[in-house]
A and B are shown apart, each in its own frame.
Chain A
Amino acid sequence: MNRLLPFFGFMLLVLLFGFGIWWNSQHDQSAIPSPLLNKPAPAFVLPKLYEPTQTVSKSDLLGKPYLLNVFASWCVECGAEHPVLEAEGPSLGVQLVGYNYKDAPADAKRWLAEHGNPYNVLIADEPGSTAIDFGVYGAPESFLIDAKGVIRYKHIGPLTPDVVASELKPAIAALSHETQP
């Protein structure tokens, strides 16, 4: 019996690995749960893209849920995401806040002129320092922030019609259930 112990120990390991393979085929590996999820969004004060002398702060946006979309003109994937935002943005039922990330303002404006502007509010984080508080590690990223300023959903990478339908819209629906009981 004693001599079978290593064998049984190894079989436990095999079960664990089998589980691991199964788990990975079911779950997206890049979906690291953000430590910010269900936590208050970091406080920020950022200039507007088109009126750099005016700023928008976190408290300005409280009261209504909004989708904060991190984008940049240099980001190829953002180009792929943009038509989705243009098409789905108005029907989401939340404000769309464009967060221009590490971008030269002139480049960003040219890019928006070319591709269209789906955003209700546009803020610019040219040095990218506020984005660190949000844990942004690339563009595009999207944060759904509720009326109380709490991050309720986060998506890394471009929003595709699929993601919008299966993840973002249910998350928004969950918010409206809370506010209108």
Chain B
Amino acid sequence: MTPELGQLALILALLLALAQGILPLFGAWRGNRALMAVARPAAAGQAVFVALAFGILVWAFVHFDFSVQYVADNSNLALPWYYRIAALWGAHEGSLLLWIFILNVWTVALAAFSQKLPEVFAARVLAVMGLIAVGFLAFIIFTSDPFGRLLPMPGDGADLNPVLQDPGMTFHPPVLYTGYVGFSVAFAFSIAALLGGELEQAWVRWARPWTNIAWAFLTCGIVAGSWWAYAELGWGGWWFWDPVENASFMPWLVGLALIHAQAVTEKRGSLRAWTILLSIFAFSLSLLGTFLVRSGVLTSVHAFASDPRRGVFILAFLTIVVGGSLLLYALRAPKVAGGKAFQLASRETVLLIGNLMFAVAAAMVLLGTLFPLIGDALNMGRISVGPPYFGFLFPLLMLPVVLLLPFGPFLRWGKGDTPVLKQVLLRAGIAAAACAIVAAFFVHGQLKAIAGVASLVWLTVGVLLYAIKRWHEVPRGRRYPAEMAGMLLAHLGVGVFVAGVLLSESLSVTSDVRMAPGQTQHIGGYDFLFDGVHRTTGPNWRADQGVVTVTRDGNPVAVMHPQKRTYLRGQVQTESAVDAGITRDLYVALGEPMDPNHIEGAWALRLYYKPFIRWIWGGGLLMMLGGFVCAADKRFRIKRIAESESTEGLLVQENHA
């Protein structure tokens, strides 16, 4: 009975979303305050019903209700409870439910924190959120019902895809989606501004913290995904330029551009149209990501479901949302270029170059991702471009960003101040060159590694110089407002990230070896002693588990247990063993036994020594932290009280609980 209630809840949510999407827009157009006031209660009501549907599906998973097809397909009696909850987003239908649930969390937050915004503007923003919800709820109800029944009810279910049975993977989708969906807020702000023809730029300041938070979540989600791929897939790689990774990376790049463009628009009034366009693109690319993953237009290791009906639906939705907003942009974007003029050596110029690079990089990734499709369309056969294409073009595009980054904060808005720049160039440049020369001796002249050290020093010194300058020139208490501190943190993160990538890629040692028990391999200064493989079992798997003892100069370092798991339904999954460290990771993965009938004998093993690979994720986390810190700036709290006191706030708070 309860699954049907879940379905009913979704239908009611759809009706409320329709009310939230249409009535306030109409009210804002006709100046009808009663209609505008529908937005908040409708949003709250929709959230309640979506949360109910979400809760019902979780309940069905926790209580093994295999009469629900989705539950039977993605869980079984032996699956531990935490993975049963995570199984909710283990496949298509549940992922969409998670998507709409997170959209509602954002909408409720927006409703709660937008009470000081002008009434008309807030009504429009919430209405746009409502319209997005309409599309996704209709998609779930008409093409991807998670509550469909399976009768007769099977005694046990299938299994959750074993690659998803990992702590990193339980956490990755919700965080990633929070980022994806969060761009809907910046999008809604832009659409509301276009509809209202807002002449002032105040709305950009209101939108900024939302964009920063969404971007920070997306960063965190991508870092989690990358770390998972590293730990779980057994190849030791951290990024594969897979279509689905690209789908999350494109909105990230555009979001990054948007964060910086918003700063320019808010402070100087320039780049107004560009900021609006970027907000539309960031959210469009999030939708596009959903489309690419869910429609099966591109096949990929990630693609779970492909049903042409779903593809057509998302494409139609995408066309309406993106096409409609781009048309609106064409009609309503601010006609005058606006803003204050700026000179060549000004902060605007540097930010504009960065923006251009990020946008071009996103376009480059999009082109590469769609290449197989373009090949089909032009009848050239299925061509795909892989890591060589991305790996060559992406660093090339990011090079100017890395080079210019230290100068950005030193430059003033509007006009240039070249003596300071020379000073920075000299100090950071000398420091980077000196460290690079020293490093060259340690890394045996590997150019990539030297470049890694140089860019780390270049970026870090650049950031520190600016921090010191603030310390000297600005009175205590005003030195590092959150916005500034966040920026510095994120920029430090870039340095750490670049160093991690270049150092780990150039200095890694990989060894695919056949090892008999008792044999030792010497890699990267460590001795790996293979002690053989034995059988072990977990809650829903059995595994061949190897024991590898690592020593360095005779001192014990780690005992590692790589596994090759076989899950209940026969799926095989490698669990690599990683000994993590700040300066290096040791990584062991089990390959195949030389003789399948004698697992206690010799095995093919993959041994890696990966220096500084943690820095990649460390840099990512610093960038994420920067985004959050920035958003906490007091300046972004809305001080202005809207024209009228709103009374509906109470309602939202009640439902929020």
Listed in ascending order, the chain A residues whose CB lies under 8 Å from chain B are 3-4, 6-7, 10-11, 14, 16-21, 23-25, 29, 32-33
Contacts and interface: CB of A to CB of B under 8 A. Distances in A.
Contacts of B83: none
Contact of B330 (A3, A19, A24, A29): A3
A27 B273 CA distance: 42
B170 interface: no
B233 interface: no
B336 interface: no
Contact of B382 (A6, A17, A33): A33
Interface residues of B, number: 32
Contacts of B299: 29
Contacts of B370: 16
B376 A17 contact: no
Contact of B315 (A3, A21, A23): A21
Nearest to B315: A17
Minimum-distance CB pairs A-B, first 10: A7-B326, A20-B297, A3-B330, A21-B311, A4-B330, A25-B308, A20-B373, A6-B326, A19-B377, A29-B299
A10 B280 CA distance: 12
Contacts of B280: 6
A82 B284 CA distance: 49
A38 to B, nearest CB: 13
B381 interface: yes
Contacts of A25: 308
Contacts of A20: 295, 297-298, 311, 373, 376-377
Contacts of A4: 330
A133 to B, nearest CB: 18
A29 B291 contact: no
B381 A33 contact: yes
A24 B377 CA distance: 11
Interface string B302-338: 0000101001100100110011001101110100000
Say what secondary structure dominates the interface of chain B.
Answer: helix
B580 interface: no
B322 A10 contact: yes
A10 B323 contact: yes
B373 A16 contact: yes
Contact of B306 (A16, A24, A32): A24
B333 A3 contact: yes
Of the listed residues A4, A17, A29, the one surrounded by the most CB atoms of chain B closer than 10 A to its CB is A17
A23 B311 CA distance: 12
Interface in B246-298: 273, 277, 280, 284, 291, 295-298
A14 B373 CA distance: 12
B296 A29 contact: yes
B329 A23 contact: no
Contacts of B319: 14
Nearest to B295: A21
Contacts of B273: 3
Given A18-B315, A24-B297, 14 more contacts: A3-B329, A4-B330, A16-B373, A17-B373, A19-B376, A20-B297, A20-B311, A20-B373, A21-B308, A23-B373, A24-B311, A25-B308, A29-B306, A32-B382
9 contacts: A6-B280, A7-B323, A7-B327, A10-B322, A10-B323, A17-B318, A21-B312, A23-B377, A24-B306
B425 interface: no
A7 B273 CA distance: 14
A4 B327 CA distance: 7
Given A16-B370, A32-B382, A24 B308 contact: yes
Contacts of B323: 7, 10-11, 14
B190 to A, nearest CB: 13
A134 B308 CA distance: 33
Contacts of B308: 21, 24-25
Contact of A21 (B297, B331, B333): B297
Nearest to A6: B326
A89 B487 CA distance: 70
A25 B331 CA distance: 37
B221 to A, nearest CB: 24
